[in-house]
Amino acid sequence: MAGLYKKLRNFLAHPVESVRVMLGLPVEGTAAGRWEDVSNLRENWDERTIRIAGMIPPGAAVIEFGAGRLVLRDHLPAGCSYQPSDIADRGAGTIVCDLNQGFPALPGHYTHAVFSGVLEYIADIGGLVDSLKPHADTIIASYATIDRMPDLIKRKRRGWINHLSGEQFVAIFLERGFELSDSSEWKNQTIYVFRSAGRA
């Protein structure tokens, strides 16, 4: 009964979005225009990024997809190199790409690839991991699982296009030769560290 009340309350709070979701219509896009507007890059995400920076060792070669305001760059340990990539140009040699339109050519190999608040917007996470695997030894990724954020209307209002359980999310990486080496909770999300099997 409590679940039904919660759904009804959510419908009354967001009637237009609720109907669009029920009809399978898009609610909020993930186009470049949305992310070119820097006001959409929230400072309250910085805590998550700083925590991820603390998971990276000194001297690492890092590529960040969804680099945003380049917060990760400014908090990496000593001796790290940093390559930003984003759907919009963030300067500093950004590799500009829409990961839903194809994987970019990368200029090198990286010890760490970072996705902070990105993978919920990706249509084919498995295909992305397949493309990235030859270029990165470790993938650090945050993800809001449906276990912890089950409200589909709220998820779709944010523009998220996939809705995976923690088990499903981890399985994508395990099936592609990665091992889950660490995970931690941040608010209603989980930060995962996946290492390519056989690599330290």
Q: Is the pLDDT of residue 180 over 60?
A: yes
Q: Is the pLDDT of residue 18 over 90?
A: no
| pLDDT single digits (tens) 69-114 | 899 999 999 999 999 999 999 887 999 999 999 999 999 999 999 9
The Cα–Cα gap between 109 and 66 comes to 18
User: What average pLDDT is seen over the chain?
Assistant: 85
Q: Is the pLDDT of residue 9 over 90?
A: no
CA distance readout (Å), 81 to 92, 103, 153: 12, 21, 39
| pLDDT single digits (tens) 27-79 | 444 455 555 555 555 566 799 999 999 999 999 999 999 998 899 999 999 99
Q: What is the residue extent of each domain of the chain?
A: 29-196
Select from 160, 130, 133 the least CA-distant residue to 144: 160
Its pTM stands at: 0.81
Domain 29-196 top-level CATH class = alpha beta
The residue type found at 11 is F
